[in-house]
Every structure is written in C-alpha cells, then in structure tokens.
Amino acid sequence: MKRVFSGIQPTGEIHIGNYFGAILNYVKLGEELGKNSIYCIVDHHAITIPHEPELLRKRTFDAALVNMAAGLDPNKVILFAQSDVREHTELGWVFATQTPLGDLERMTQFKDKSSQHSVLAGLLMYPTLMAADILLYKANTVPVGEDQVQHIELTREIARRFNHRFGEMFPEPLAVHNKDALRVPGVDGQGKMSKSKGNTLGVLEEIDSIWQKLRVAPTDPARVRRTDPGNPEVCLIFDYHKLFSDLETIQIVDAGCRSAGIGCIDCKKLLMKGVEQTLVPIQQRAQELYNSPDTVKDALHRGAREAREIAQQTMQEVRDRLGLLNP
C-alpha cells in the first residue's frame, strides 16, 4: 500500500513556487490515492522560532484555505493541523529518546541557524518531530524539497533503529520530488523563489501587482534593443511561460524571441494571459472560502478526526512495544 505524507509550512504567503512545486502534486496524489494522501499544516514546527500567536493562527488557516482553493479536496484526502493530533508530539518525544544527540547536531538546517545566532532547543528536536509526523501514519512516500532530503534520511534511520530494538513496525520512507518544479526561479532572477528573499509571486497576489513585478523582471541580457534577437533558454520570463502558458504560446514566444519578432514587453503580456487563466480561478475560490470560513475549519476538524484514528492505533502499538501503559 502506498501512503503519502507531506507537511505544509504555515510560514506566510503561498507563492507560485509552492503551487507548482508542491500543491499540484498534492492534488494529483489525492486523486490517485484518496485518504492515503495525508497533508498536515505543521504549526508545531512553526513555533521552533519566535512567532506571533495570532499571526500563526491566521497563517495556519490560510495555508489550508489556499491549498483547498488550488484544488486540494479535503473530502478525498486527509488535511489537518498538526497541533490537532497530539500523538505527533508524543511520538516525537519517543523518537527523541532513541536518537543520538550527534545525529541531530549534524543536521544542516540546525548547523546553519545555530552558527548565526542563539536558537531554541525545539530547532534541535525538529527532525524527531518530523520523523514522528511521517511514521505516525506509516507513510512510505514523502514529497519534499531538496533541502529536506537529509531529514528524510534521518527519519529512515530512526525507523530502522526503532525496528531493530523493538521489533519491525515502521516503513523506511522514501523522499520524492519533482525536479523540474524545484527550479521555479524568483522574479528577481536571483535563484529559487523564496519568501525569505522576497522574490515571490503570490498565488493570491493581485494581478496588477504581479504585472508590476513582471514588467520590470530581467530577461535575456543580450536583448538590449527591441531588434536584438535573444535566447529564450536563458530568459526568466520564458521559464514562467513553461509553467503558465500552453504549448502554442510557448512556441510563439520561443520563435519570436530568437528572431526578435516580439519584444520583451510583448512576451510578458502573453505570459500574463496564462497567469490570469491560472490564478484568477484560484483567487475567486479563495475569496469564497474567506467568506465562508467554517468550510475550512470544518474540513480541518474532519481531517484531524480521520488522522487521529490512524495516529491512536500507531501509538497504542508503540506504547506496547516500549512497555508503557495504554490508557
């Protein structure tokens, strides 16, 4: 049986990198696997850094809402907030007692952040909670970005160590990712789209605001004048066409750029047609959900009940293996 788990960070605006890199895949897997697709808004992970409580609450709600607006159907998948299923933290503590300190200190994320400033102990324990998120549902497939692959490797080691000591119980999950989607570039052309870099195009961002960003976005530096031919393969805007535009438009842009048949502004205007066709329906659905917040809240509550049924069964087995009393 294939079971997928993925954690959704409630860390701010959902951008097109998230949409093409993760959400579309969530929707696809949900259609294929139904309730064996489990998606969690990981709000406990979000408190490993200083935060504003009301803002976290809003971002958790918004993360669920945008995913639903983009096509994730809570009637087909399990969608819930991590803090609504307490077994996550219980299993996280169990794994913390079985994981050598050196394994946690070697995590690149911890080393990078702790070298810059003082960090909370929760950041050190982040990987054991992440392992609990995944193994609580005995998931064997985890869609992640490249920056999380090391954490999945540790999750596999935690599962292996537990199985060896207490008997075979957990699968060793595999990290999977869409290599093309990982390369969604920032609108400044300076590497990957990232909230921390401020180079994003938001899924719910006003269309005029997106246009203002794209209008001044860099293109092929060889096209100094309108009559200069260019190479679309080195152009940021052409990368976006591959995401938003149909094949016919992509071919027109490719030929027009190489022959100088169209200018960069023309190219960007063609891109905006695809942007609007993709994002406006999502934005309209999102507004409907904002106007009916109980739809989102009810979906999260229902998802938490479904997740809890699986989680409680797993924790009963874990307690038996460890010699703990079961309630």
195 is catalytic: yes
**Per-residue pLDDT at 182:** 55
Query: Rounded distance, CA 193 to CA 217, Å?
Result: 13
**Per-residue pLDDT at 176:** 84
Query: Rounded distance, CA 70 to CA 51, Å?
Result: 27
The phi, psi pair for 188, rounded to 5°, reads -90, -5
**Per-residue pLDDT at 110:** 85
Residues 35, 192, 213, 242: which is the catalytic one? Answer: 192
Structural contact between residues 154 and 131, judged by C-beta atoms closer than 8 angstroms: yes
Please name the helix (run of DSSP H) or strand (run of DSSP E) that holds residue 40, with its range, or none: strand 37-41
Query: Rounded distance, CA 159 to CA 137, Å?
Result: 12
Q: Reading across the β-sheet that carries 174-176, which strands appear in turn? A: 78-81, 37-41, 4-8, 141-143, 174-176
Query: Rounded distance, CA 143 to CA 30, Å?
Result: 13
**Per-residue pLDDT at 149:** 86
The answer to whether the Cα torsion of 174, 178, 183, 184 is positive or negative is negative
**Per-residue pLDDT at 12:** 75
**Per-residue pLDDT at 21:** 85
**Per-residue pLDDT at 173:** 96
**Per-residue pLDDT at 180:** 46
Query: Rounded distance, CA 102 to CA 124, Å?
Result: 10
C-alpha distances in Å from residue 262, one per residue of 68, 258, 275: 38, 9, 19
Residue keyed to tokens 């992440």 = 130
Residues 28, 35, 111, 195: which is the catalytic one? Answer: 195
pLDDT digits (tens, 9 = 90+) for 242-274: 999 999 999 999 999 999 999 999 999 999 999
pLDDT in tens, the chain (327 residues): 799 999 998 977 899 998 998 899 899 999 999 999 999 999 999 998 888 999 999 999 999 999 999 999 999 999 999 999 999 999 999 999 999 999 999 988 888 888 788 888 999 999 999 999 999 999 999 988 777 889 999 999 999 999 999 999 999 999 887 554 457 899 999 888 988 788 999 999 999 999 999 999 999 998 989 889 999 999 999 999 999 999 999 999 999 999 999 999 999 999 999 999 999 999 999 999 999 999 999 999 999 999 999 999 999 999 999 999 987
Structure-block tokens of residue 146: 């490249």
pLDDT digits (tens, 9 = 90+) for 173-205: 998 875 544 578 999 998 889 887 889 999 999
pTM of the predicted model as reported, rounded to 2 decimal places = 0.90
- Given 3-state DSSP classes, what are the helix, strand and coil percentages for the chain, each rounded to the nearest 5? 60, 5, 30
